[in-house]
């Protein structure tokens, strides 16, 4: 089997449908804010409001302290925001995934339409908002003297390292969601639980050492800690664990695609 054929059938590199995916992604992002006063500005307002809420609740009300940021409210807020950037990216893609196919019955009945492209459209929409949040986070580092440095260049790569995880979960949830409609209702509460089991509102180092290892079974833990390293600690993140995690999820994504292709045959009957 030659390389071009591999690229044509492997969903992780959808070279044949790049233009289609780009156009659908652009329409998806712009369509969310169509008719609103702030338009795409809401994509910046929402994470900032969320950041303000969590900062007031944990810093002011509960008197929480972040190791190394005890005397800096700005650094406390940035540490939380770094976690929110990654978690919101994950949450946006995963929460929409079970409804991707059921919300597009017309596309399902078009035999020539590549339905797996909808998963990429979902991921790119989430990536757009994640990169906007990352931009706000980078600008926020100027509020704390001495933390902005060359390691900021690693931040976009850390965000992109989450894509294999989202592709795997997106493909799986999208195809199963056609047959199990309750899945869309289950995912929301699960994401709320995952938020508090992920080092978003706390650093991994705050947990006992015997528990920290289990925390890294969560695919969000490594990217969140790596993002804080390169943006807020001025350290280059350890690429080895991130690359290994991404590789594992690429392999799992191939399994999700196998399931997607087989279940896809019955989509039209279910809709």
pLDDT tens-digit map of 219-230: 999 999 999 999
Choice between 130 and 216, residue whose per-residue pLDDT is larger: 130
Tokens of 20: 């289609």
Give yes or no for residue 80 having a pLDDT over 50.
yes
DSSP 8-state class, residue 59:
I
pLDDT value at residue 78: 85
Tokens of 9: 């059938």
Chain centroid, CA 223 distance in Å: 10
C-beta separation of 100 from 178 below 8 A: no
DSSP 8-state class, residue 146:
T
C-beta separation of 85 from 132 below 8 A: no
Interval 8-42: pLDDT, tens: 445 566 667 888 888 888 888 888 777 666 667 77
Choice between 132 and 54, residue whose per-residue pLDDT is larger: 132
What is the rounded CA–CA span in Å between residue 69 and residue 65?
Answer: 7
Choice between 268 and 221, residue whose per-residue pLDDT is larger: 221
Overall residue count recorded for the chain in this entry: 271
Choice between 253 and 62, residue whose per-residue pLDDT is larger: 253
Return the minimum-mean-pLDDT range out of 50-64, 179-193, 234-248: 50-64
Name, in order, each residue with C-beta under 8 angstroms of 179's C-beta and a sequence gap of 6 or more: 263, 266, 270
User: What would the mean pLDDT of 112-116 be, rounded to a whole number?
Assistant: 81
The upper half-sphere exposure of residue 167, i.e. CA atoms within 13 Å in the direction of its Cβ, equals: 26
- Structure-token match 């992604």, residue found: 25
Interval 165-197: pLDDT, tens: 999 999 999 999 999 999 989 999 999 999 988
C-beta separation of 123 from 206 below 8 A: no
Most confident of the ranges 1-15, 83-97, 257-271: 83-97
| C-alpha closest to that of 94 among 193, 7, 19 | 193
DSSP 8-state class, residue 218:
S
Return the minimum-mean-pLDDT range out of 2-11, 111-120, 177-186: 2-11
Interval 142-162: pLDDT, tens: 877 778 888 999 999 999 999
CB atoms within 10 A of CB 21: 20
Taking the model in full, what pTM does it have? Answer: 0.88
């Amino acid at each position: 089997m030659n390389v071009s054929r591999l690229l044509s059938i492997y969903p992780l590199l959808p070279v044949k449908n790049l233009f289609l995916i780009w156009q659908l992604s652009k329409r998806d992002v712009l369509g969310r804010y169509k008719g609103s006063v702030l338009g795409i500005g809401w994509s910046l307002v929402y994470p900032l409001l969320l950041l303000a809420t969590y900062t007031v609740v944990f810093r002011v009300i509960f008197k929480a302290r972040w190791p190394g940021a005890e005397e800096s409210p700005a650094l406390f807020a940035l540490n939380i925001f770094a976690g929110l950037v990654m978690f919101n990216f994950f949450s946006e893609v995963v929460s929409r995934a079970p409804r991707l196919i059921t919300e597009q019955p017309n596309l399902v009945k078009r035999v020539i339409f590549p339905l797996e492209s909808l998963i990429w459209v979902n991921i790119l929409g989430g990536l757009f908002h994640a990169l906007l949040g990352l931009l706000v986070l980078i600008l926020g580092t100027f509020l704390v003297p001495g933390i902005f440095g060359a390691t900021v260049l690693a931040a976009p790569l850390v965000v992109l390292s989450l894509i294999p995880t989202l592709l795997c979960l997106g493909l799986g949830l999208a195809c199963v969601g056609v047959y199990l409609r309750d899945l869309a209702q289950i995912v929301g509460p699960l994401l709320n639980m995952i938020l508090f089991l992920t080092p978003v509102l706390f650093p991994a180092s705050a947990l006992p050492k015997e528990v920290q290892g289990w925390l890294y079974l969560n695919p969000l833990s490594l990217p969140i800690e790596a993002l804080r390293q390169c943006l807020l600690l001025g350290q280059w993140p350890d690429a080895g664990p991130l690359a290994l995690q991404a590789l594992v999820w690429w392999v799992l994504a191939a399994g999700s695609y196998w399931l997607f292709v087989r279940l896809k045959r019955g989509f039209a009957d279910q809709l």
